[in-house]
Structure 1
Amino acid sequence: MRTVRSGRSARRGLLAAAVAGALLLGAAGCGGDGEPEGGQKTPKDYKVVAGTELCGGNAISADASRALEVITGEPRFEASGERYTVERAAADLVDAFGTPDVWEGDACRVYTPLGTTDFELRIIWTWLEGPPKGKPAQKFTLLKMGEETGAASNEAYVLFECRSDKLAGSSTAAHLMISAEHRTVSEPEDNVDALKDAYATVAHSYSLAMAKELGCEKNGGLPEEAVLDRA
């Protein structure tokens, strides 16, 4: 059985721990109204935006923005950091492609605003050595999209082929994966089908944006809109 990873490398695990610690410290200094205690106010550069403005503004479609609301329960989100753009993620992937010690990276992170329930969704790119083999983990439902798409109630991934001059050393199609995931100890048990569709919609939106940015032939075979039909 092939277990589709969600980018859980040791290196990223350490990074996640550091980020979690920073968020915990930040949360400890906030009052119930989302404002820091001690009279301090939210930083002036803090912004809350619509989902379509996340990740550089050209990665999250209107459908994906609505999907994020299904996932998080919030219609608006913290503005993405400057580094979280499709252009930056594509450049990082191109630099890493074919390098055995760098095979995945952060594409974007989505956070709910201050004063709401904490929620982090990660979008991750991965390059693979070949096409998918075997079956994904049992929690994934396969969808008829791309080379392979799997959706669960807390994450989804889209695999697609990319023939592009930007991916040096690739004489044949490269195999790329975009995953959208919320790391939880347990998987949600309510609205499972709706959540699967929502995560798949977000993963598809970023995958399509990445395929276009890389110049993949025929957009990597991805449709303009997410296909949520079960395989």
Structure 2
Amino acid sequence: MVAALALSLGVGGVSCASSEEEPERKPYVGADEVCDGLFAGRLAGMIEDVTGHKVFSGAPNKMSDVVKALKAGYASGHMWAAGETLCRLSPKGAGPTDASGEVDFSMYHPSDLEDEAPSNDVKRYDMGKIATSGQGGASLYFECMTPKLQSSEQRPLRIAGGFSRGKSSVPDTPEHRDLKMIIVHAMSLMVSDELECENNAGLPETPVLTSGA
């Protein structure tokens, strides 16, 4: 389960629960503190490596909003639904038009899997429905069956997790592509845990970094 991944990666495993009085948020924090410690542990170093930044705006963890958006999208009966950003990574000194990095989740349309055709611009991984990583970021598509969603045994919740590094001068290397996939995999396991998806939503506890078909 997620606890095993947290131990292996040192992931903070921040809960979406909040106290009645939130502590004063720092304007700027390190990668290990951004979004209330979402990337605490080894993931913090990976965030620094793939973004090229060490200090970010003190953005909040929005796990509760992500879960709420996914549940609402599923309940709508629509084939797809916009989700929510789990964490925004805006580096210190970024201009108003500079693209920020982020982790986000949404409900994907079945045809989105067909649109993810093999490409030399991305590496594909043998995880979930489709897992890819390229220069700008990584994405992981998976399905969730959970007692929290009626009929999900017959109609699983389709979830697309994405990590984008934002504006960065870091070169696109195979190693950096793997790091992006490790990040989105860890975040996807956290979302799966919050939704109580059966069998980790079909995701392995440890990211599979071998190439998929």
Q: Structure 1 length normalisation: TM-score? A: 0.66
> Which residue number corresponds to residue 180 of structure 2?
199
Structure 1: which 5+ runs fail to align?
1-43
1:68 equivalent to 2:69? Answer no
1:181 equivalent to 2:160? Answer no
Deviation string 1:38-85 (CA, Å, 9 cap, x unpaired) is xxxxxx95433332333343x43533322211112223422213xx32
Q: How does 1:1-231 map to 2 (within 5 A)?
A: 45-57=25-37, 59-60=38-39, 62-81=41-60, 84-99=61-76, 100=78, 102-114=81-93, 120-130=100-110, 132-133=113-114, 135-136=116-117, 138=119, 139-170=121-152, 171-182=154-165, 190-231=171-212
Cα RMSD after superposing both structures:
2.9
**How far, CA to CA, are the matches of 1:191 and 1:128 in structure 2?**
27
Note the C-alpha offset of 1:230.
1.7
**How far, CA to CA, are the matches of 2:92 and 2:110 in structure 1?**
39
**How far, CA to CA, are the matches of 2:62 and 2:36 in structure 1?**
4
**How far, CA to CA, are the matches of 1:169 and 1:73 in structure 2?**
43
**How far, CA to CA, are the matches of 1:66 and 1:51 in structure 2?**
7
Deviation string 1:167-191 (CA, Å, 9 cap, x unpaired) is 344333222110111456xx97834
* Residue aligned with 2:66, SS: helix
1:51 alignment partner AA: A
Larger Rg: 1
**How far, CA to CA, are the matches of 1:52 and 1:188 in structure 2?**
21
Q: Structure 2 length normalisation: TM-score? A: 0.71
* Residue aligned with 1:60, SS: coil
Deviation string 1:25-44 (CA, Å, 9 cap, x unpaired) is xxxxxxxxxxxxxxxxxxx9
Question: What percentage of residue pairs aligned between the two structures are identical?
Answer: 20
Structure 2: which 5+ runs fail to align?
1-23
* Residue aligned with 2:32, SS: helix
